[in-house]
Amino acid sequence: MSAGDRARDVLARLVDASATERILISLASLVLAIAVGTVLILVAGRMTTCSAQSAVYYFNVGFCYDPVLVFDRLFLGALGDPFRGGWSPDGQFSIAMRETTLLIFTGLSVAMAFRAGIFNIGTQGQMIVGGLAAALGTLWASPFLSGTVGTLVLVPFGILVGAVFGGLYGMIPGLLKAYAEANEVITTIMLNFIAGGVTLYLVSDVFKDPNSPANQTVPLPDYAQFPAVLFGSRQDFSLYALLFGVVMLFALYYVLEHTSFGYDVRTSGIQPEAAEYGGVDAAKTIVSSFALSGALGGVAGALYVTMVIGKFQAGVPAYGFDGITVSILAGNNPLGVGFAALLFGVLKSGTTVVQFATDVPPQLVGVLRGLIILFVAMPEFFRLIGRRLLPEEDKSRAVATDGGERIADSRASSDGPSDGGVSGGEDE
Amino acid sequence: MDRRSFVKVTGLAGLTGLAGCTGGPGESEETTTTEASGGDGGEETTTAAEETTTESSEDTTNVGMVYATGGLGDGSFNDQAQQGAIQAEEDLGISFDEAQPDEVSQFKTFQQQFAQSTNPNYDLVCCIGFLQTDALTETSEAYPEQNFMLVDSVVDAPNVANYVFAEHEGSYLVGQMAGLLTTEEFSAGAGSTSSDSATLGFVGGVEGSLIKKFEAGFKAGAKAANGDVEVLTNYTGSFNDPAAGKEAALAMYNNGADIVYHASGNTGTGVFQAAQEQGKFAIGVDRDQSVTKSSYADVILASMVKRVNTAVYNSIESVVDEEFQGGGIVTLGLEQNGVDIVYGDSLSSEIPTSVKDEVAASREAIVAGDVEVPTDPSDV
């Protein structure tokens, strides 16, 4: 058997893997990543110097960095040490949840577009635009209201404004792709730069907070920011936002799997020509998918502004790009995005704990984080490739689809697409 | 290669690789090296004696450092701050831990972690960079017992010592030097100026009131030296984009500028490259860049040093001496040696004494209060 055949076999097995198998594969990848990371930490620990007391000893060899401590901090420390006494959700746990919440939205944004066969690399830009719009909108509206009423009105208003502007910004590459056949990868990347540049100009000049040396807007009043509930106030986290994110996970899942709009999106993603032949308005689907994707990115921006930093500041962290990885990790499945975002959020939270608790340089922690994500994402990535490559050789696979997903995977939605029209609307 | 021999070879290579590494814990604590990634000064080795005292004694002063985004190894701002901590470790026997945030939202996380920590209990948390202002406003309120220090900005709280710099004063001096040299036929190292143009350049990083202080001082100094001088200005929008810095500087040199001053962090590396290509001069910032970027020493006339290390060191010293004063603003200008002009390592001897004398005279005038340097370029 040649190497090529063997590779094709492995791909085919991956594609056919059941949900349980996929979870097992992911767990095995995680263990493997930790094993490789352990070796890296040990080697790095031999390459620096440290005092004898601060070193750890394995098999009578001293190492400067302790892999057990590093991974303990990276995972358990990230969650605020749930297995030690005195665990409080208000500590590091809130930070992990905060990052998870933001990544849910950027991950959903990317997944939405990917399912439609659109490579939206522009979630970052849509998030930036949505964030600035949410900040300015809320600032504009905040003098009219105050107190609890203010919170009840202003926070949803901010999210709505973020969603609208993020969506509009997402529609630009959508229109360009649908009506001018511009490659969306290029346009979205370019639009990221434009979003960053224009917002930097706006907050360093027109909307700048005169009292701050940083390029930022005036801080939002307290009542216009996401309220913390039960815990999380010290870490800028609100349980409401996380719940909102979880609701959106299911909402997007429902939209994609159980509505006619979702059916159009999925079929266009898998076989655009066939979808169009089957009566799907390709241009309309592209534009609306992009708008929905951009809106989700815009909500992420709005949450970053109203929950995390309480104003818009130039230099928004790369949640949008992380969203691409989150989405791939989740196999572009909205429900999977929740788990992938959680893994990512824990890793992001853990990075700061490791840096604080050990002498391991942040660059090495970044490498460990990258290893874990790479290892966990690769099986899914090869599955995606396999699904694209294999049907061409084996025609029976292409036939065996049901509503854009292979039958084996879509047991849950077996009643879905054909009567999806019943549940109706094109929108959420 | 079949699988088994692959495993064997990898295993062997791994073992030899590990054995070959020369690091690991020191045998008898002879020397310890600090992890100064960007440190290229000669002052960061600590001796074992101090190390043991710091670790054995219970009442060691512990300091937490929260750096600006960009982290260590930037060759200017953060490394300069680290120098202050390293110096305090040597002189005062303190010990310090470091955190390098890479996102704005992490400032608060690290500040809180240091403030919360009880093992060790941190006596001072140094926050480097103005972007930490908002985070520190909240953290200092939540931890009223914790001492903080902040560089480059002001938080009005009783437990925060604020250190700001009079960057415009130091920039005035380099501006004056540049203004005097641009109309002369001056040549040294790899650069030269021509007398037929009185044009200078300023390359900034991200536009903001802080960097504008550099620009204002530079322009004012240049105007004081020569009323006809023209200063071309460009903000690249980044502190870490050497290509943009080079492009901006090349445009200035092509428009007749002889000397370009930059206040743009790593972007300035591109300015030095452009100067070398064009056979013109540049002026460094934050540290003596003719030393830290020694490959460009033949075009760096001088550097406007901003001694963030002094601020860090002074604040640590005040904690060690139990004289920490929160709530105040310490301005480090020329008078306090917080900023200064440092002539290039290899070009210093070539700069005419008359120029140096005039610069020294202005330095005294500013310290004495006879010359008021503007902080906003529009006031020049």
> For the residues A249-253, what does the mean pLDDT come to?
95
What is residue B32's three-state secondary structure?
A: strand
pLDDT of residue A18: 78
* Residue B175 C-alpha from the chain's centroid: 19
pLDDT of residue B42: 38
Q: Tell me the residue ranges of DSSP E strands in B153-265.
A: 160-165, 187-188, 191-192, 199-204, 230-235, 257-263
Q: Which domains does chain B have, with CATH numbers?
A: 168-305+339-379 (3.40.50.2300)
Spatial separation of the C-alpha atoms in residues B359 and B380, rounded to whole Å:
18
Model pTM score: 0.77
Residue of A nearest to B141 (CA): A234
pLDDT of residue A91: 79
Q: Is the pLDDT assigned to residue A399 strictly greater than 50?
A: no
Q: For chain B, how are helix, strand and coil distributed in percent, rounded to 5?
A: 45, 20, 35
> For the residues B146-153, what does the mean pLDDT come to?
91
Which two three-digit tokens encode residue A131? 């964030």
Q: Which of B166, B285, B168 is nearest to B220 (CA)?
A: B168
Q: Is the pLDDT assigned to residue A317 strictly greater than 70?
A: yes
- Name the A residues in 122-161 with CB < 8 Å from any B CB: none
Spatial separation of the C-alpha atoms in residues A268 and A282, rounded to whole Å:
7
Contacts of A46 in chain B (CB under 8 A): 18, 21, 23-24
Whole-complex ipTM: 0.74
CB atoms under 10 Å from CB of A366, counted, come to 12
DSSP secondary structure string, A25-86?
HHHHHHHHHHHHHHHHHHHHHHHSEE-GGG-EEETTEEESS-HHHHHHHHHTGGGT-TTSTT
Q: Phi, psi (5° rounding) for residue A118? A: -110, 130
Alpha helices in B260-352 (DSSP H): 268-278, 289-292, 308-320
Q: Is the pLDDT assigned to residue B282 strictly greater than 50?
A: yes
Tell me which amino acid residue B379 is: D
CB A253, CB A100: distance < 8 Å: no
B112 shares contact with chain A (CB less than 8 Å) = yes
Contacts of A319 in chain B (CB under 8 A): none
Which two three-digit tokens encode residue A299? 């909500």
Q: Is the pLDDT assigned to residue A418 strictly greater than 70?
A: no
Q: Which domains does chain A have, with CATH numbers?
A: 8-66+358-393 (no CATH), 97-340+400-423 (1.10.3470)
pLDDT of residue A133: 96
CB atoms under 10 Å from CB of A209, counted, come to 17
Q: Is the pLDDT assigned to residue A345 strictly greater than 70?
A: yes
Q: Is the pLDDT assigned to residue B305 strictly greater than 70?
A: yes
pLDDT of residue B48: 41
Give A33-59 pLDDT, tens digit per residue. 999 999 998 888 887 777 776 777 777
pLDDT grade, residue B191 (50/70/90)?
confident
Q: Do B35 and A361 touch (CB under 8 A)?
A: yes
pLDDT grade, residue A199 (50/70/90)?
very high
pLDDT of residue B13: 63
Contacts of A213 in chain B (CB under 8 A): 130, 133, 152-153, 208-210
A42 shares contact with chain B (CB less than 8 Å) = yes
Place of tokens 């590459």: A173
Spatial separation of the C-alpha atoms in residues A231 and A311, rounded to whole Å:
21
pLDDT of residue A359: 81
Helices (H) and strands (E) in chain A, counts: 16, 5
B55 shares contact with chain A (CB less than 8 Å) = yes
Spatial separation of the C-alpha atoms in residues B179 and B76, rounded to whole Å:
25
Buried b (16+ CB within 10 A) or exposed e, B170-186: bbbbbbbbbbbbbbeeb
Contacts of A237 in chain B (CB under 8 A): none
CB A296, CB A256: distance < 8 Å: no
Q: Do A215 and B206 touch (CB under 8 A)?
A: yes
To the nearest whole angstrom, how far is the Cα of A217 from the nearest Cα of chain B?
12
Q: Is the pLDDT assigned to residue B308 strictly greater than 70?
A: yes
Q: Which of B188, B310, B201, B323 is nearest to B264 (CA)?
A: B201
Place of tokens 């609306």: A288
Q: Which of A124, A154, A134, A158 is nearest to A142 (CA)?
A: A154
Give B201-257 pLDDT, tens digit per residue. 999 988 778 889 999 999 999 999 888 899 999 998 877 788 999 999 999 999 989
pLDDT of residue B2: 65
A206 shares contact with chain B (CB less than 8 Å) = no
Cis check for the bond before B120: say yes or no (omega within 30 of 0): yes
pLDDT of residue A342: 93
Q: Is the pLDDT assigned to residue A140 strictly greater than 90?
A: yes
Beta-bridged to residue B339, according to DSSP, are: B306
pLDDT of residue B372: 87
pLDDT of residue A81: 80
CB atoms under 10 Å from CB of A180, counted, come to 8
Which two three-digit tokens encode residue B45? 């080795």
pLDDT grade, residue A157 (50/70/90)?
very high
pLDDT of residue A194: 95
Contacts of A49 in chain B (CB under 8 A): 23-26, 32-33
pLDDT grade, residue A83 (50/70/90)?
confident
pLDDT of residue A104: 96
CB pairs under 8 A between A and B: 115
To the nearest whole angstrom, how far is the Cα of B34 from the nearest Cα of chain A?
8
Residue of A nearest to B208 (CA): A213
Spatial separation of the C-alpha atoms in residues A395 and A380, rounded to whole Å:
22
Q: Considering only the beta carbons, identify the residue of A50, A213, A214 that sits closest to B25.
A: A50
> For the residues A284-295, what does the mean pLDDT come to?
94
A201 shares contact with chain B (CB less than 8 Å) = no
Spatial separation of the C-alpha atoms in residues A183 and A190, rounded to whole Å:
11
Spatial separation of the C-alpha atoms in residues A367 and A352, rounded to whole Å:
14
Q: What is the DSSP letter of A256?
A: H
pLDDT of residue A420: 38
Give B48-87 pLDDT, tens digit per residue. 444 444 444 457 889 999 998 777 876 678 888 999 999 9
Range name among A76-80, A123-127, B40-44, B239-243 with the lowest pLDDT average: B40-44
Give B161-184 pLDDT, tens digit per residue. 999 999 999 999 999 999 998 888
Spatial separation of the C-alpha atoms in residues B229 and A321, rounded to whole Å:
46
pLDDT of residue A274: 86
Spatial separation of the C-alpha atoms in residues A77 and A71, rounded to whole Å:
9
> For the residues A138-167, what does the mean pLDDT come to?
91
Which two three-digit tokens encode residue B273? 């490259």
